[in-house]
Amino acid sequence: MRAAILLAHAVHATTQGCLEWSAVNATWFGDEHDGPAQPYCLHKRCLVALNGCAVWWRTVSDDVIPPIPELAIPLPDDDRRGACRGPTRVTGHLGIADDENFGRCTTSDKIFDNGGGFEILQARRHAPPSIDCGDRRRLKARWEALLATLTDEDYALVEAATTRPIRNVTAAFVNKASACDFAGFLSSSRLFVHALNGEGLHALRAVLAERLRDLRLTKYASGSILDEWFEHGVLIRPYTNDQDVYDLLKVVAGEPSVPAPPYDWAERRITSVENDPQGRAHVDSFASVVKVWLFDDVGADAGPLHVVRGSHRHTVDRLAWEHARANGREALIEPSFRLTSNESDAGDAAAFVARCQRDAAPIVTQEPIVVVADTSLVHFRGAGRVGAVRRSRRLRGDNGGGLARRNPFRFADEE
């Protein structure tokens, strides 16, 4: 438990101390595309951005069901709510606590219940705040113990993908890292910002998370379904009742137990539109994320979910791409890396992009199915006929539409 508390500081450090209420001043926040700026005010007070922070409005597409991303900002005096606004720019509250309001944006003129269709206020500090991240020696010892699970082949993989002498990089990190650096590396943050990312630190972090995940998976499950999960990162089965979902989740969770049925499902109706942000191929994280969909009838014209089977595994080309994206400017604003970037790709990273563009496949059906996917693989919402509606059901609550996201840097015997 103590380790979990220490590692949690790194996520809070990303946005901690970025905002305060003011009865006199207000900051006009722009969006991620330098679009219309707008303040956020409530009860005759407005939010003010403090020095050392970038704060912006970020678009959340329908059916994204935002978990509590490390960049979302709780209100200064209410950690159960964040700030959101609808398409008409009317501001409201975003539910970020695990209750009936989670993922819901409520403004004075509308309630957005479709897991998106609004914007949220996000922030990133330019430098870590002065907070107590815990005992450096204990965090360093944990970091070293976790890295000891890597093999020579793992280090060779990282070097092949990054062309960097990764053992020199780890030596440089361990000698100079602060307690907050160790906690940040071992946090669930999708992007731990550090100067050594350019030398392969993020790629090493990605491989370590994968190896630890593999150890947890093989401890609690075995058999053909697990083999399919390892290879493809997606399972598609007929759906008759929630027991079908439970049977799959027990295999893919890598945990001693998973929530038992019956499940609480939220219906999602996604209307196909032009330039849907979710139509841009992406991964949710460098580490495994398990999401679940129930589909009854989805045709090619309804904007079906597309996946690239096997793209969740950190092969040389995937890892080279991961290394390139982690060091691009876009990652600071969107740590769920997009397949393509404004910055040119070369070598293995370009090969990964080409592979994913070639192998992306839609999931269409005329019968009820359950889809369980590791959304660290490349996926996207396909282009549908404008106005067509895709219906699905998603698990309700603070779970990202699947299994709750836990810290990926855990040993197999740590619950």
Span 247-265, pLDDT tens digits: 999 999 999 999 999 999 9
Residue spans per domain, the chain: 17-125, 136-215, 222-395
Mean pLDDT for the stretch of residues 212-221: 96
Q: Does 413 score more than 80 pLDDT?
A: yes
Contacts of residue 398, defined as CB under 8 A and 6 or more positions apart, other chains included, come to 67, 68, 97, 98, 102, 404
- Dist. CA 28–CA 23, nearest whole Å: 15
Q: In which band, very low, low, confident or very high, does the pLDDT at 3 lie, cut at 50, 70 and 90? A: very low
Find where tokens 């700030």 sit. 83
Mean pLDDT of the chain: 89
- Dist. CA 315–CA 311, nearest whole Å: 8
Q: How many residues does the chain have?
A: 415
Mean pLDDT for the stretch of residues 345-370: 96
Whole-number percent of the chain with pLDDT over 70: 93
Mean pLDDT for the stretch of residues 310-336: 94
Do residues 122 and 72 touch, judged by C-beta distance below 8 A?
yes
The lowest-confidence range among 36-50, 100-114, 175-189, 327-341 is: 100-114
pLDDT tens digits for range 16-36: 678 899 999 999 998 876 667
Q: What CATH code would you report for 222-395? A: 2.60.120
Q: Does 49 score more than 70 pLDDT?
A: yes
What pLDDT shows up at residue 78? 82
The lowest-confidence range among 274-283, 296-305, 355-364 is: 274-283
Do residues 194 and 172 touch, judged by C-beta distance below 8 A?
no
Q: In which band, very low, low, confident or very high, does the pLDDT at 12 lie, cut at 50, 70 and 90? A: very low
Higher pLDDT, 154 or 15: 154
- Dist. CA 274–CA 233, nearest whole Å: 28
Higher pLDDT, 7 or 192: 192
pLDDT tens digits for range 95-143: 887 777 788 899 988 988 878 889 998 888 776 555 678 899 999 999 9
What pLDDT shows up at residue 8? 34
Mean pLDDT for the stretch of residues 85-96: 89
Higher pLDDT, 373 or 17: 373
